A and B are shown apart, each in its own frame.
Chain A
Amino acid sequence: MDDPLIIAGREFRSRLITGTGGAANLSVLERALVASGTELTTVAMRRVDAAGQTGVLELLRRLGIEVLPNTAGCRTSAEAVLTAQLAREALETNWVKLEVVHDEETLLPDPVELLDAAERLVNDGFVVLPYTNDDPVLALKLQDIGCATVMPLGSPIGTGLGIRNPHNIELITSRASVPVVLDAGIGTASDAALAMELGCSAVLLATAVTRAQDPERMGAAMRCAVEGGRLARLAGRIPQRFWAQASSPGL
Protein backbone atom coordinates (compact mmCIF):
# COMPACT_ATOMS: atom_id res chain seq x y z
CA MET A 1 0.00 0.00 0.00
CA ASP A 2 1.46 3.32 -1.07
CA ASP A 3 1.10 5.65 1.88
CA PRO A 4 4.06 8.00 2.00
CA LEU A 5 4.77 10.53 4.73
CA ILE A 6 5.04 13.94 3.09
CA ILE A 7 6.85 16.78 4.87
CA ALA A 8 7.33 20.05 3.03
CA GLY A 9 6.78 18.29 -0.30
CA ARG A 10 9.31 15.55 0.39
CA GLU A 11 8.16 11.92 0.46
CA PHE A 12 9.31 9.32 2.96
CA ARG A 13 8.26 5.68 2.94
CA SER A 14 9.15 5.30 6.61
CA ARG A 15 7.06 7.03 9.24
CA LEU A 16 9.73 6.58 11.87
CA ILE A 17 12.18 9.42 12.45
CA THR A 18 15.05 8.48 14.72
CA GLY A 19 17.70 10.20 16.76
CA THR A 20 21.31 9.17 17.07
CA GLY A 21 21.88 10.07 20.72
CA GLY A 22 22.47 7.48 23.40
CA ALA A 23 23.94 4.67 21.29
CA ALA A 24 26.91 2.92 22.85
CA ASN A 25 28.89 3.14 19.61
CA LEU A 26 28.45 3.69 15.88
CA SER A 27 28.23 -0.01 15.11
CA VAL A 28 25.27 -0.47 17.47
CA LEU A 29 23.71 2.68 16.04
CA GLU A 30 24.10 1.45 12.47
CA ARG A 31 22.37 -1.86 13.15
CA ALA A 32 19.53 -0.12 15.01
CA LEU A 33 18.99 2.45 12.26
CA VAL A 34 18.91 -0.19 9.54
CA ALA A 35 16.48 -2.34 11.52
CA SER A 36 14.22 0.65 12.15
CA GLY A 37 13.91 1.44 8.44
CA THR A 38 14.21 5.16 9.13
CA GLU A 39 14.93 7.60 6.30
CA LEU A 40 15.37 10.75 8.40
CA THR A 41 17.57 10.98 11.49
CA THR A 42 18.60 13.77 13.83
CA VAL A 43 22.07 14.94 14.78
CA ALA A 44 23.16 17.66 17.23
CA MET A 45 25.61 20.52 16.62
CA ARG A 46 28.52 20.77 19.05
CA ARG A 47 31.97 22.34 19.29
CA VAL A 48 34.72 20.55 17.42
CA ASP A 49 37.00 19.10 20.07
CA ALA A 50 40.48 17.68 20.03
CA ALA A 51 39.09 14.16 19.72
CA GLY A 52 38.03 15.05 16.19
CA GLN A 53 34.92 14.02 14.30
CA THR A 54 32.39 11.53 15.54
CA GLY A 55 31.71 9.85 12.22
CA VAL A 56 27.95 10.05 12.55
CA LEU A 57 27.54 12.09 9.37
CA GLU A 58 29.56 9.61 7.33
CA LEU A 59 27.44 6.80 8.74
CA LEU A 60 24.15 8.47 7.78
CA ARG A 61 25.38 9.28 4.29
CA ARG A 62 26.57 5.71 3.77
CA LEU A 63 23.17 4.39 4.84
CA GLY A 64 21.34 6.88 2.58
CA ILE A 65 19.54 8.44 5.57
CA GLU A 66 18.67 12.14 5.42
CA VAL A 67 20.24 14.26 8.15
CA LEU A 68 17.97 16.39 10.33
CA PRO A 69 20.01 18.75 12.51
CA ASN A 70 18.48 19.75 15.82
CA THR A 71 19.00 22.67 18.16
CA ALA A 72 19.24 20.51 21.28
CA GLY A 73 20.68 22.31 24.27
CA CYS A 74 19.42 25.76 23.24
CA ARG A 75 17.54 27.70 25.90
CA THR A 76 16.70 30.90 24.03
CA SER A 77 15.33 31.81 20.65
CA ALA A 78 18.57 33.59 19.74
CA GLU A 79 20.68 30.51 20.53
CA ALA A 80 18.39 28.25 18.56
CA VAL A 81 18.35 30.52 15.51
CA LEU A 82 22.15 30.73 15.45
CA THR A 83 22.49 26.96 15.91
CA ALA A 84 20.05 26.34 13.05
CA GLN A 85 21.98 28.72 10.82
CA LEU A 86 25.25 26.97 11.68
CA ALA A 87 23.68 23.60 10.95
CA ARG A 88 22.45 24.85 7.59
CA GLU A 89 25.95 26.03 6.76
CA ALA A 90 27.65 22.84 7.98
CA LEU A 91 25.22 20.25 6.66
CA GLU A 92 23.79 22.00 3.60
CA THR A 93 20.19 21.46 4.61
CA ASN A 94 17.56 24.05 5.46
CA TRP A 95 15.62 21.52 7.54
CA VAL A 96 15.83 21.86 11.30
CA LYS A 97 14.32 20.10 14.28
CA LEU A 98 13.76 23.11 16.49
CA GLU A 99 14.24 22.52 20.21
CA VAL A 100 14.21 25.33 22.76
CA VAL A 101 14.01 23.85 26.23
CA HIS A 102 13.32 25.67 29.47
CA ASP A 103 15.39 23.74 32.01
CA GLU A 104 17.55 20.65 32.38
CA GLU A 105 15.32 18.84 34.87
CA THR A 106 12.31 18.53 32.56
CA LEU A 107 13.73 19.43 29.14
CA LEU A 108 10.24 20.76 28.43
CA PRO A 109 9.95 23.21 25.54
CA ASP A 110 9.82 26.90 26.42
CA PRO A 111 6.73 27.89 24.42
CA VAL A 112 7.49 31.61 24.28
CA GLU A 113 11.06 31.18 23.03
CA LEU A 114 10.00 28.32 20.74
CA LEU A 115 7.34 30.31 18.92
CA ASP A 116 9.68 33.25 18.50
CA ALA A 117 12.49 31.06 17.12
CA ALA A 118 10.11 29.21 14.80
CA GLU A 119 8.88 32.45 13.31
CA ARG A 120 12.40 33.77 12.76
CA LEU A 121 13.55 30.55 11.13
CA VAL A 122 10.50 30.27 8.85
CA ASN A 123 11.14 33.85 7.75
CA ASP A 124 14.78 32.92 7.10
CA GLY A 125 13.73 30.14 4.71
CA PHE A 126 14.03 27.12 6.99
CA VAL A 127 11.82 24.04 6.95
CA VAL A 128 11.01 24.04 10.66
CA LEU A 129 10.01 20.90 12.58
CA PRO A 130 9.37 22.15 16.12
CA TYR A 131 9.53 19.97 19.22
CA THR A 132 6.61 21.30 21.24
CA ASN A 133 4.48 20.69 24.30
CA ASP A 134 1.31 18.62 23.93
CA ASP A 135 -0.58 21.90 23.80
CA PRO A 136 -3.21 22.02 21.05
CA VAL A 137 -3.23 25.82 20.98
CA LEU A 138 0.52 26.19 20.66
CA ALA A 139 0.54 23.49 17.98
CA LEU A 140 -1.92 25.47 15.87
CA LYS A 141 0.09 28.66 16.34
CA LEU A 142 3.27 26.90 15.18
CA GLN A 143 1.41 25.59 12.15
CA ASP A 144 -0.05 29.00 11.36
CA ILE A 145 3.32 30.75 11.32
CA GLY A 146 4.53 28.26 8.72
CA CYS A 147 6.12 25.27 10.46
CA ALA A 148 6.31 22.16 8.26
CA THR A 149 5.18 19.84 11.06
CA VAL A 150 4.26 20.05 14.70
CA MET A 151 6.00 17.59 17.00
CA PRO A 152 4.29 17.34 20.39
CA LEU A 153 5.87 15.37 23.19
CA GLY A 154 4.27 12.25 24.63
CA SER A 155 6.17 12.86 27.88
CA PRO A 156 9.54 14.47 28.73
CA ILE A 157 12.62 13.52 26.70
CA GLY A 158 14.25 10.29 27.74
CA THR A 159 11.65 9.33 30.35
CA GLY A 160 10.03 6.47 28.42
CA LEU A 161 6.74 7.40 30.11
CA GLY A 162 4.81 7.08 26.86
CA ILE A 163 1.89 9.33 25.94
CA ARG A 164 0.65 10.91 29.16
CA ASN A 165 -2.16 12.91 27.62
CA PRO A 166 -3.56 11.01 24.65
CA HIS A 167 -6.54 13.34 24.41
CA ASN A 168 -4.29 16.34 23.82
CA ILE A 169 -2.45 14.46 21.08
CA GLU A 170 -5.78 13.58 19.49
CA LEU A 171 -6.91 17.21 19.72
CA ILE A 172 -3.74 18.22 17.92
CA THR A 173 -4.06 15.60 15.18
CA SER A 174 -7.74 16.40 14.66
CA ARG A 175 -7.08 20.06 13.95
CA ALA A 176 -3.62 20.22 12.38
CA SER A 177 -3.25 20.30 8.62
CA VAL A 178 0.53 19.74 8.71
CA PRO A 179 1.91 16.33 9.72
CA VAL A 180 1.91 15.71 13.48
CA VAL A 181 4.99 13.84 14.70
CA LEU A 182 4.91 12.38 18.20
CA ASP A 183 8.28 13.38 19.57
CA ALA A 184 9.75 12.32 22.93
CA GLY A 185 8.67 10.02 25.72
CA ILE A 186 8.29 6.81 23.71
CA GLY A 187 9.33 3.87 25.89
CA THR A 188 8.32 0.82 23.93
CA ALA A 189 6.54 -0.35 20.80
CA SER A 190 2.99 0.04 22.12
CA ASP A 191 3.62 3.76 22.74
CA ALA A 192 4.63 4.23 19.11
CA ALA A 193 1.60 2.27 17.89
CA LEU A 194 -0.70 4.38 20.10
CA ALA A 195 0.75 7.59 18.66
CA MET A 196 -0.16 6.44 15.17
CA GLU A 197 -3.61 5.27 16.28
CA LEU A 198 -4.22 8.75 17.69
CA GLY A 199 -3.66 10.13 14.20
CA CYS A 200 -0.01 11.12 14.25
CA SER A 201 1.69 11.01 10.86
CA ALA A 202 5.01 9.82 12.24
CA VAL A 203 6.95 9.10 15.41
CA LEU A 204 10.34 10.51 16.40
CA LEU A 205 12.32 8.59 18.99
CA ALA A 206 15.88 7.92 20.04
CA THR A 207 16.43 6.70 23.58
CA ALA A 208 13.79 3.97 23.41
CA VAL A 209 15.90 2.28 20.74
CA THR A 210 19.47 3.36 21.44
CA ARG A 211 19.32 2.55 25.17
CA ALA A 212 17.23 -0.62 24.86
CA GLN A 213 19.02 -3.80 25.90
CA ASP A 214 18.99 -4.87 22.24
CA PRO A 215 18.81 -1.68 20.13
CA GLU A 216 18.67 -3.55 16.82
CA ARG A 217 15.68 -5.62 17.87
CA MET A 218 13.93 -2.58 19.38
CA GLY A 219 14.54 -0.68 16.14
CA ALA A 220 12.71 -3.45 14.30
CA ALA A 221 9.94 -3.42 16.93
CA MET A 222 9.42 0.32 16.45
CA ARG A 223 9.26 -0.09 12.70
CA CYS A 224 6.51 -2.70 13.04
CA ALA A 225 4.69 -0.67 15.71
CA VAL A 226 4.55 2.46 13.58
CA GLU A 227 3.38 0.48 10.56
CA GLY A 228 0.78 -1.39 12.64
CA GLY A 229 -0.51 1.74 14.30
CA ARG A 230 -0.79 3.53 10.98
CA LEU A 231 -2.71 0.64 9.41
CA ALA A 232 -5.06 0.50 12.40
CA ARG A 233 -5.72 4.24 12.16
CA LEU A 234 -6.51 3.98 8.46
CA ALA A 235 -8.62 0.85 8.99
CA GLY A 236 -10.83 2.57 11.55
CA ARG A 237 -11.19 0.90 14.91
CA ILE A 238 -14.48 -0.40 16.32
CA PRO A 239 -16.26 1.79 18.83
CA GLN A 240 -15.76 0.82 22.46
CA ARG A 241 -18.82 -0.72 24.15
CA PHE A 242 -19.77 -1.19 27.77
CA TRP A 243 -21.51 -4.55 27.29
CA ALA A 244 -20.33 -7.62 25.45
CA GLN A 245 -21.44 -8.21 21.90
CA ALA A 246 -21.29 -11.78 20.59
CA SER A 247 -19.39 -12.30 17.39
CA SER A 248 -20.88 -15.76 16.80
CA PRO A 249 -24.48 -16.27 15.70
CA GLY A 250 -27.03 -17.13 18.43
CA LEU A 251 -27.90 -20.79 19.11
Chain B
Amino acid sequence: MKAQVNGTSRDLADGTSVAAVVTLVGAPEKGVAVALDGAVVPRALWDRTIVPDGGVVEVLTAVQGG
Protein backbone atom coordinates (compact mmCIF):
# COMPACT_ATOMS: atom_id res chain seq x y z
CA MET B 1 0.00 0.00 0.00
CA LYS B 2 1.02 3.60 -0.46
CA ALA B 3 1.22 6.44 2.04
CA GLN B 4 2.48 10.03 1.97
CA VAL B 5 5.33 10.36 4.46
CA ASN B 6 6.60 13.93 4.94
CA GLY B 7 5.37 14.80 1.48
CA THR B 8 6.89 11.79 -0.31
CA SER B 9 4.89 8.84 -1.60
CA ARG B 10 6.16 5.62 0.00
CA ASP B 11 5.35 1.93 -0.47
CA LEU B 12 4.66 0.48 2.95
CA ALA B 13 3.82 -3.07 3.99
CA ASP B 14 0.22 -3.61 5.10
CA GLY B 15 -0.03 -3.11 8.84
CA THR B 16 2.88 -0.68 9.10
CA SER B 17 2.64 1.23 12.38
CA VAL B 18 3.30 4.89 13.00
CA ALA B 19 6.27 3.82 15.15
CA ALA B 20 7.77 2.02 12.14
CA VAL B 21 7.38 5.13 9.97
CA VAL B 22 9.13 7.24 12.62
CA THR B 23 12.06 4.82 12.47
CA LEU B 24 11.93 4.79 8.67
CA VAL B 25 12.46 8.55 8.38
CA GLY B 26 15.36 8.42 10.85
CA ALA B 27 13.74 10.62 13.49
CA PRO B 28 15.71 11.39 16.65
CA GLU B 29 14.71 9.74 19.94
CA LYS B 30 13.36 12.89 21.53
CA GLY B 31 11.54 16.00 20.40
CA VAL B 32 9.45 14.33 17.70
CA ALA B 33 5.71 14.41 17.02
CA VAL B 34 3.53 12.71 14.43
CA ALA B 35 0.33 13.70 12.67
CA LEU B 36 -1.71 11.12 10.78
CA ASP B 37 -4.31 12.52 8.39
CA GLY B 38 -4.17 15.90 10.09
CA ALA B 39 -4.46 14.76 13.72
CA VAL B 40 -1.77 14.30 16.35
CA VAL B 41 -0.93 10.70 17.25
CA PRO B 42 0.31 10.68 20.87
CA ARG B 43 3.62 8.89 21.36
CA ALA B 44 1.96 6.26 23.55
CA LEU B 45 -0.17 5.19 20.56
CA TRP B 46 2.57 5.02 17.91
CA ASP B 47 3.00 1.23 18.22
CA ARG B 48 -0.64 0.34 17.84
CA THR B 49 -1.65 2.98 15.28
CA ILE B 50 -1.61 1.47 11.77
CA VAL B 51 -1.08 3.71 8.75
CA PRO B 52 -4.02 3.23 6.36
CA ASP B 53 -3.67 2.96 2.57
CA GLY B 54 -3.44 6.53 1.25
CA GLY B 55 -2.67 7.84 4.74
CA VAL B 56 -0.79 11.12 5.16
CA VAL B 57 1.92 11.01 7.81
CA GLU B 58 3.90 14.02 9.00
CA VAL B 59 6.88 13.47 11.31
CA LEU B 60 8.09 16.73 12.81
CA THR B 61 10.87 17.92 15.07
CA ALA B 62 12.22 21.22 16.38
CA VAL B 63 14.66 23.20 14.23
CA GLN B 64 16.23 26.64 14.46
CA GLY B 65 13.62 29.28 13.82
CA GLY B 66 11.78 32.38 14.93
Q: Which residues of A are at the interface with B, using a C-beta cutoff of 8 A? A: 19-23, 29, 42-50, 52-54, 56-57, 67-70, 72, 82-83, 85-91, 97, 99, 206
Known: A47-B7, A48-B25, A52-B28. A90 touches B61 (CB 8 A): yes
Q: Which of A43, A52, A86, A206 contacts B35 (CB 8 A)?
A: A86
In angstroms, Cα B43 to Cα A85, docked, is 13
Give the one of A29, A44, A90 with max B CB within 10 A: A90
> For residue A44, which residues in chain B have a CB less than 8 angstroms away from its CB?
62-66
User: Are B32 and A90 in touch, CB under 8 angstroms?
Assistant: yes
B1 close to A (CB within 8 Å): no
What residues of B have a CB within 8 angstroms of the CB of A56 in the complex? 62-64
A29 near B64: Cβ-Cβ < 8 Å:
yes
User: Of B25, B62, B66, which contacts A91 at CB under 8 A?
Assistant: B62
Q: Within 8 Å CB of B62, what residues of A?
A: 43-45, 54, 56-57, 67, 69, 87, 90-91
B40 touches A48 (CB 8 A): no
- Chain A to chain B: the 7 pairs with minimum beta-carbon distance, closest first: A44-B65, A42-B66, A90-B33, A89-B33, A19-B66, A86-B33, A53-B28
> Count of B residues near A, CB < 8 Å?
26
Which partner residue on chain B sits nearest A157 by CB separation?
B66
* B residues with CB within 8 A of A: 6-7, 25-28, 30-35, 38-40, 42-43, 58-66
On whether the beta carbons of B66 and A48 are closer than 8 Å, the reply is no
* CB–CB A90/B31 < 8 A: yes
From DSSP, what is the main secondary structure of chain A's interface residues? Answer: mixed
Q: Of residues B31, B39, B58, which shows the largest number of chain A Cβ atoms within 10 Å of its Cβ?
A: B31
Q: For residue B66, which residues in chain A have a CB less than 8 angstroms away from its CB?
A: 19-21, 42-44, 68, 70, 72, 97, 99, 206
Total contacts A to B, CB within 8 angstroms?
A: 104
Q: Is the CB of B60 within 8 A of A85?
A: no
Q: How far is the CA of A52 from the CA of B26 in the complex (A)?
A: 7
- Closest CB-CB distance, B5 to chain A, in whole Å? 9
List residues of chain B with CB within 8 A of the CB of A89: 33-34, 40, 42-43
A47–B28 Cα gap in the complex (Å)? Answer: 12
Judge whether B31 and A57 touch: CB under 8 Å: yes
Whether B63 lies near A43 (C-beta < 8 A) is: yes
Q: CA–CA, A48 to B31, complex, Å?
A: 10
Q: Which of B34, B60, B62, B66 is packed against the most chain A CB atoms within 10 Å?
A: B66
Besides A20-B64, A43-B65, 6 other A-B contacts (C-beta < 8 A): A21-B65, A44-B63, A68-B66, A86-B35, A89-B33, A91-B31
